[in-house]
């Protein structure tokens, strides 16, 4: 599939952090294909590379299934330290648990939540580390399509690459810890956006607690950013 002008094989994502059934893997493939096909341009960071889409899958599964009953594949987690720290930061947050209660066993709703959460988190980190080349060099691989080569995840990493990833993970942990209120507010904004989408769906359909289908999300997203979170930063939405 073409994503941002680059061909990405959605069937060849990075290995999942969580143990996932074959049935759920196929379900995610169908959902993400439909989502990208309808071009959610306001979520370019979350849906830009096989790396970021792989993280969307991790978060989606944690929302769709009971997180407490899922297990992290320790072997895969060691291969993707940056993906792992971002997954932990999102899924251990208070608002994640609230959203999970609403979306459990609802595959489409879980995907919407996962995309929105990751979009907000990646944008925050991008803004935080854009002037820190050491950290940004590792972090940008999550959403830079030009760097998104399909490689064997078990390829030999150089000592320098491992050190760079370790530095990035440490920096992300520190940044979130030092700005914990701001990061919590970020997740709360994500929660507000989801509430906003609920309200728009109710206005249009007159039905309670139903989000618009995946193909109808782009316009409400634009409206949300315009009405509530417009900034002077042209890269706010990716």
Q: What are the boundaries of each domain within the chain?
A: 2-228
Name the residue among 93, 87, 120, 130 with its Cα closest to residue 194.
120
The model's confidence at residue 39, banded by pLDDT at 50, 70 and 90, is low
Range with the poorest average pLDDT among 106-115, 131-140, 193-202: 193-202
- The answer to whether residue 92 scores a pLDDT higher than 70 is yes
For residue 225, report the phi and psi dihedrals to the nearest 5 degrees.
-60, -40
Higher-scoring residue by pLDDT: 202, 124: 124
Position 8 scores a pLDDT of: 76
Segment 165-189 shows an average pLDDT of 88
Residues near 138 by Cβ (< 8 Å), separated by ≥ 6? Answer: 82, 164, 165, 167, 168
Mean pLDDT of 171-177: 92
Is residue 19 within 8 Å of residue 71, measured between CB atoms?
A: yes
Looking at the predicted structure, is the pLDDT value of residue 3 above 80?
A: no
pTM for the complete prediction? 0.79
Q: 42 or 140: whose pLDDT is higher?
A: 140
Distance in angstroms (rounded) separating the CA atoms of residues 141 and 52: 9
pLDDT-derived band at 200 (thresholds 50, 70, 90) equals low
Q: What is the mean pLDDT of the chain?
A: 77
């Amino acid at each position: 599939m073409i994503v941002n002008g680059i061909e990405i094989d959605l069937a060849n994502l990075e290995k999942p952090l969580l143990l996932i059934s074959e049935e759920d893997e196929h379900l995610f493939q169908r959902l993400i294909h439909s989502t990208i096909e309808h071009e959610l341009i306001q979520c370019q960071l979350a849906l830009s590379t096989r790396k970021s889409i792989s993280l969307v899958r991790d978060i989606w599964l944690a929302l769709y299934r009971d997180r407490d009953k899922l297990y992290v594949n320790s072997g895969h987690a060691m291969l993707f330290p940056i993906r792992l720290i971002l997954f932990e930061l999102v899924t251990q947050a208070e608002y994640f648990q609230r959203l999970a209660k609403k979306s459990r066993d609802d595959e489409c709703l879980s995907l919407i939540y996962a995309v929105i959460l990751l979009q907000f988190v990646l944008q925050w980190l991008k803004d935080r580390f854009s002037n820190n080349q050491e950290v940004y060099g590792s972090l940008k691989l999550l959403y830079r399509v030009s760097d998104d080569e399909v490689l064997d995840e078990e390829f030999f990493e150089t000592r320098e690459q491992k050190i760079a990833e370790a530095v990035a993970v440490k920096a992300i942990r520190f940044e979130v810890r030092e700005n914990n209120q701001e990061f919590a507010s970020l997740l709360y904004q994500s929660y507000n956006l989801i509430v906003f989408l609920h309200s728009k769906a109710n206005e249009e359909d007159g039905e309670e607690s139903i989000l618009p289908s995946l193909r109808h999300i782009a316009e409400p997203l634009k409206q949300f950013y315009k009405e509530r979170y417009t900034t002077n930063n042209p890269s706010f939405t990716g």
